[in-house]
C-alpha cells in the first residue's frame, strides 16, 4: 500500500507563489505514483491536519523564510514524521548567507569577498570600505532570502538608493560582483547528479530570470567545460553539501570566471516547477520528474 504524503506549501515568504506551484506539481506526480496526498499550509491548522491525515512522510515544498531556514524543520521535528530535504541545522546554516560563506572560506571553497552592512556606516565610510575590500560594482542582497529576492547589482550612483530600499532587513550583505558564466550543480543524496549553465538575457539570473517564462534564459546542458573542470565544480558542490550537513536534494550556484569557480550559495530546497533546474538536470540524466519526487520521499523515510 502506497504511503500518505502531506505536502507543505504556500507559507508567508516572498516566494509563496513559487511554493504553491512546487506543491501542486509535486502532488500531481505523487498521485500518478498512487500516493494518498494532502496539501497543507504551514499555519495554525498544520497540527490538526497532521493528526487527522496521519501522513507517513511530509514533503516540504516551502521556499524562503520560515520554510527552508530551520524554522518549519524545528516544528516538524516535534511530530517525529520523516520530512524531505535538510534538517534544522543544515537548513539554518545554508539560508544564512553570512554563516554559510564563512564555512566555505574556512574549508577553502572560493566564494566572492563580502562584508555585512547594518546601516550604521556613513556614506564615506561605506564607499571607502567597498573600494578597499571589493571595488564597484557590488552585489547587495538580504542575508536570508532565496530565489534572488531583492538582489541588486549596484554601482556608486545607485547603491545608497538600493540600501534604503532594503532597510526593513536591518542587515544586508555587500558582496564582490563576479562576472562570468552561471553554473548550477545538483546533488542528490551523496551523489553528484549533474550541472547546467544559464545564459540569462537579464543582468544576472535574478527572480524574473528564474520564474518568468518570458525572461528567455538559455539553459545549456551538457555544460561546455573540460572533464577536469566539470569534475572540479561538481566535487566542490558535493563538499559544500557535506560540510553544511545537507540531506536530500540541493543545488549549488557558481560563477565561473578567470578559470575559477566561485560558490555563491547552496540551496537546500531547490524549486520543483516546470522552470526548475534540478528536475531538468535529473531528466538529462534519465531520471523523470516522477521518479525524482519518488526518490525524495524514499530518502526522507530512510533518514537516521
Distance CA 161, CA 258 (A): 31
Predicted local distance difference test score (pLDDT) of residue 206: 45
Share of the chain above pLDDT 90, in %: 64
198: which 3 cell numbers?
544559464
pLDDT confidence band for 304 (50 / 70 / 90): very low
**Catalytic pick from 13, 15, 60, 276?**
15
pLDDT confidence band for 148 (50 / 70 / 90): low
Name the burial class of residue 145, with classes exposed (0-12), middle (13-18) and buried (19+) by CB atoms within 10 angstroms of its CB.
buried
47 catalytic per annotation: no
pTM: 0.88
Highest mean predicted confidence (pLDDT) among 111-115, 147-151, 204-208: 111-115
Predicted local distance difference test score (pLDDT) of residue 247: 94
96 catalytic per annotation: no
pLDDT digits 0-9 by tens, 220-265: 999 999 999 999 999 999 999 999 999 999 999 999 999 999 999 9
pLDDT confidence band for 205 (50 / 70 / 90): very low
Q: Among all chains, which residue has been given the C-alpha cell 562570468?
A: 180
DSSP SS3 for 248: coil
pLDDT digits 0-9 by tens, 80-92: 999 999 999 999 9
**Catalytic pick from 147, 148, 150, 252?**
147
Distance CA 166, CA 102 (A): 23
15 catalytic per annotation: yes
- Checking 208-213 for CB contacts under 8 A at 24+ apart, the result is 209/148, 210/147, 210/148, 210/271, 210/275, 211/18, 211/147, 211/273, 211/275, 213/275
DSSP 8-state secondary structure symbol assigned to residue 167: G
Residue 1 has pLDDT above 70, yes or no: no
**Catalytic pick from 21, 41, 265, 280?**
265
253 catalytic per annotation: yes
**Catalytic pick from 271, 276, 280, 299?**
271
Higher-scoring residue by pLDDT: 13, 189? 189
291 catalytic per annotation: no
pLDDT digits 0-9 by tens, 254-296: 999 999 999 999 999 998 876 789 999 999 999 999 999 999 9
228 catalytic per annotation: no
Share of the chain above pLDDT 70, in %: 92
Most distant pair of Cα atoms in the chain: their distance:
66
Predicted local distance difference test score (pLDDT) of residue 193: 97
**Catalytic pick from 29, 35, 251, 262?**
251
**Catalytic pick from 267, 276, 280, 299?**
267
176 catalytic per annotation: no
Domains in the chain (CATH in brackets) are 4-85 (3.40.50.20), 94-109+179-301 (3.30.470.20), 114-176 (3.30.1490.20)
Predicted local distance difference test score (pLDDT) of residue 64: 83
Task: Find, among 112, 103, 98, the residue nearest to 143 by Cα.
Answer: 98
265 catalytic per annotation: yes
Q: Among all chains, which residue has been given the C-alpha cell 543544515?
A: 90
- Is residue 137 a contact partner of residue 177, using CB atoms and an 8 Å limit? yes
Strand order in the sheet with 191-199: 218-220, 191-199, 181-188, 249-257, 260-267
Residue-wise DSSP of 212-225: -GGG-PEEESS---
Amino acid at each position: 500500500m502506497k504511503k500518505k504524503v502531506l505536502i507543505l506549501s504556500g507559507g508567508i515568504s516572498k516566494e509563496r507563489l513559487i511554493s504553491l506551484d512546487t506543491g501542486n506539481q509535486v502532488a500531481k506526480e505523487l498521485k500518478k505514483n498512487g500516493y494518498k496526498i494532502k496539501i497543507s499550509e504551514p499555519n495554525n491548522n498544520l497540527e490538526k491536519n497532521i493528526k487527522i491525515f496521519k501522513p507517513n512522510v511530509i514533503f516540504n515544498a516551502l521556499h524562503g523564510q520560515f520554510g527552508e531556514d530551520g524554522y518549519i524543520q524545528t516544528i516538524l521535528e516535534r511530530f517525529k514524521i520523516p520530512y524531505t530535504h535538510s534538517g534544522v541545522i543544515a537548513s539554518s546554516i545554508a539560508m544564512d548567507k553570512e554563516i554559510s560563506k564563512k564555512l566555505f572560506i574556512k574549508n577553502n571553497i572560493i566564494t566572492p569577498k563580502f562584508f555585512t552592512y547594518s546601516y550604521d556606516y556613513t556614506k564615506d565610510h561605506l564607499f571607502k570600505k567597498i573600494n578597499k575590500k571589493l571595488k564597484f560594482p557590488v552585489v547587495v542582497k538580504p542575508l536570508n532570502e532565496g530565489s534572488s529576492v531583492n538582489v541588486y547589482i549596484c554601482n556608486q550612483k545607485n547603491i545608497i538608493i538600493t540600501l534604503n530600499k532594503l532597510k526593513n532587513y536591518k542587515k544586508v550583505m555587500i558582496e564582490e560582483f563576479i562576472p562570468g558564466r552561471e553554473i548550477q550543480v545538483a546533488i542528490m543524496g551523496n551523489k553528484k547528479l549533474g550541472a547546467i549553465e544559464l545564459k540569462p538575457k537579464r543582468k544576472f539570473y535574478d527572480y524574473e530570470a528564474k520564474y518568468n517564462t518570458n525572461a528567455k534564459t538559455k539553459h545549456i546542458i551538457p555544460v561546455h567545460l573540460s572533464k577536469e573542470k566539470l569534475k572540479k565544480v561538481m566535487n566542490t558542490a558535493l563538499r559544500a553539501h557535506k560540510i553544511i550537513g545537507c540531506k536530500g536534494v540541493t543545488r549549488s550556484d557558481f560563477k565561473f570566471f578567470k578559470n575559477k569557480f566561485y560558490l555563491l550559495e547552496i540551496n537546500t530546497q531547490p524549486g520543483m516547477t516546470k522552470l526548475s533546474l534540478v528536475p531538468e538536470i535529473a531528466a538529462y540524466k534519465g531520471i523523470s520528474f516522477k521518479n525524482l519526487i519518488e526518490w525524495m520521499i524514499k530518502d526522507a523515510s530512510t533518514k537516521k
